[in-house]
């Protein structure tokens, strides 16, 4: 890109997509970094965000179209040229508000600036060929239901095949469609500082579409706007958190004065929710394996005015050796494949493989077995993930209670969840699996395990 002109939204989006390719990093992290150092207006920042997430979400389908007009396929192109074609075709196919001729013109101009006339000619030729043959968007390269769904909703075919076997065709289509929708923002009200209705009335001045969350008594949905940029956020009146994630702390049923362990706590959203439900009375040990995230938890607590959280850096698998004593409640928000938050992190569906699910499930089971002895008799342990894979969720907790006779799934979990969730997700088994399309929220699994009297 020429250094004598300001970067456009398309330039920024292209740079982010190139860095994701080069560094094998996540698009949300690269995008946040790029927007933080860019002079883009709010409208252009929103366009850059749409281009990055949308292009990444639809990569499979877009590459299939490129393959039909480039000798050797998309894989033969220089990475930046491939990404330029991807984000241009995303605009042509999926963004009605951008005229096709504008998308082509901008792409050719970028190709001229970053490459040479030959590259510009290639980009112009491919885009105009696609415009002359719009039927290519409707023809999957392979036959069969899995291939058709993978093409239509742009998901890896192995993942679609897996979900077809688990959930059936109707749910798989709904799940894949939901994954392509941009997530809406939601905030959790700090009940120690303000009531939900009072804060909602304040927020409506800047967020006219703000509304009560149907999933959480502390939740407010904020469509559009910059939730982290308000005076109420700075004053600790709320925390930005997905509605599904807000269900975890109530499922733990913490009470004032209890001793609680949050074993994988960073960045601290669930930790602080637990502290709020405890009226900031008792003790929470918040542990994370990453030293640089310890300060994140502390900053979170300071902003919200919470003083009962003690942070520590430790591998959760080694907590049993730290002489911490027993806890009334334990939260294991386990590391997972993340396949329930694809709409928020679209790179995940392209980066994961079936073997990753088996590998992370082994780690999750190890963590659960190492942490469970720290639970006091009669205490509760909540195991949660942001994935929808049974090996990491239902099968794992069922195996755990089958192999450990002093622990059982707590079928009273439903009493601590909203009725809309309990009814839709059958909480009577001691766990719930929330799929992204059910409530337009993150896919989440929550299980509650009780230690019986020894």
Query: Could you identify the residue written with the tokens 């946040």?
Result: 32
Nearest alpha-carbon partner for 407 in 448, 370, 445, 446 = 448
Q: Is 125 helix (H, G, I), strand (E, B) or coil?
A: helix
CA angle 141, 143, 148 (to 5 degrees): 75
Beta strand residue intervals within 129-214, DSSP E: 185-189, 211-212
Token reading at 62: 């877009």
CA-to-CA distance for 93 and 335, rounded, in angstroms?
Answer: 36
Tell me the HSE value of 187 on the side-chain side, using a 13 A CA sphere. Answer: 27
Per the CB < 8 A criterion, the answer to whether 188 and 219 are in contact is yes
CA 299 from chain centre, in angstroms, equals 22
Total residues belonging to the chain: 454
Q: What is the DSSP letter of 317?
A: G
Beta strand residue intervals within 279-387, DSSP E: 283-288, 309-313, 327-333, 375-385
- Based on the residue annotation, tell me whether 264 is a catalytic residue of this protein: no
The verdict on whether omega for the bond into residue 267 sits within 30 degrees of 0, i.e. cis, is yes
79-94 helix and 42-57 helix, angle to the nearest 10 degrees: 100
Query: Could you identify the residue written with the tokens 């077995």?
Result: 369
Q: Among residues 176, 336, 386, 425, which one is catalytic? A: 386
Nearest alpha-carbon partner for 228 in 182, 269, 264, 179 = 269
CA-to-CA distance for 31 and 453, rounded, in angstroms?
Answer: 50
Q: Which residues are known to be catalytic?
A: 386
């Amino acid at each position: 890109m020429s250094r004598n002109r300001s970067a456009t939204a398309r330039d920024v989006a292209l740079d982010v997509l190139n860095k994701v390719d080069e560094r094998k990093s996540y698009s949300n992290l690269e995008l946040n970094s790029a927007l933080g150092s860019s002079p883009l207006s709010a409208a252009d920042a929103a366009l850059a965000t749409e281009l990055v997430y949308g292009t990444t979400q639809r990569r499979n389908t877009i590459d299939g179209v490129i393959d039909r007009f480039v000798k050797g396929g998309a894989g033969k192109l220089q990475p930046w040229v491939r990404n330029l074609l991807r984000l241009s075709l995303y605009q042509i196919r999926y963004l009605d508000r951008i005229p096709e001729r504008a998308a082509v013109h901008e792409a050719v101009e970028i190709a001229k600036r970053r490459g040479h006339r030959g590259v510009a000619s290639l980009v112009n030729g491919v885009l105009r060929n696609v415009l002359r043959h719009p039927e290519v968007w409707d023809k999957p390269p392979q036959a069969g239901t899995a291939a058709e769904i993978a093409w239509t909703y742009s998901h890896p075919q192995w993942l679609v095949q897996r979900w077809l076997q688990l959930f059936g065709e109707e749910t798989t289509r709904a799940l894949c469609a939901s994954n392509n929708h941009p997530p809406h923002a939601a905030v959790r009200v700090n009940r120690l500082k303000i009531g939900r209705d009072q804060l909602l009335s304040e927020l409506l001045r800047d967020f006219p579409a703000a509304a009560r969350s149907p999933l959480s008594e502390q939740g407010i949905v904020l469509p559009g706007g910059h939730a982290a940029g308000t005076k109420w956020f700075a004053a600790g009146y709320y925390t930005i958190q997905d509605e599904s994630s807000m269900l975890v702390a109530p499922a733990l049923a913490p009470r004032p004065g209890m001793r609680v362990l949050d074993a994988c706590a960073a960045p601290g959203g669930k930790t602080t929710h637990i502290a709020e439900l405890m009226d900031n009375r008792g003790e929470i040990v918040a542990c994370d394996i990453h030293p640089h995230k310890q300060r994140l938890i502390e900053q979170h607590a300071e902003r919200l005015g919470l003083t009962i959280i003690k942070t520590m850096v430790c591998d959760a698998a080694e907590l049993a050796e730290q002489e911490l004593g027993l806890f009334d409640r334990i939260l294991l928000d386990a590391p997972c494949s993340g396949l329930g938050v694809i709409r928020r992190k679209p790179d995940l569906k392209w980066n994961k493989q079936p073997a990753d699910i088996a590998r992370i499930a082994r780690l999750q089971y190890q963590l659960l077995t190492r942490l469970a002895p720290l639970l006091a008799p009669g205490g509760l342990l909540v195991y949660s993930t942001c994935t929808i894979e049974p090996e990491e969720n239902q099968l794992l907790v069922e195996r755990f209670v089958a192999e450990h006779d002093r622990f059982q799934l707590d079928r009273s979990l439903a009493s601590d969840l909203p009725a809309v969730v309990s009814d839709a997700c059958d909480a009577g088994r001691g766990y719930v699996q929330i799929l992204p399309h059910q409530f337009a929220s993150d896919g989440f699994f929550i299980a509650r395990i009780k230690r019986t009297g020894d």
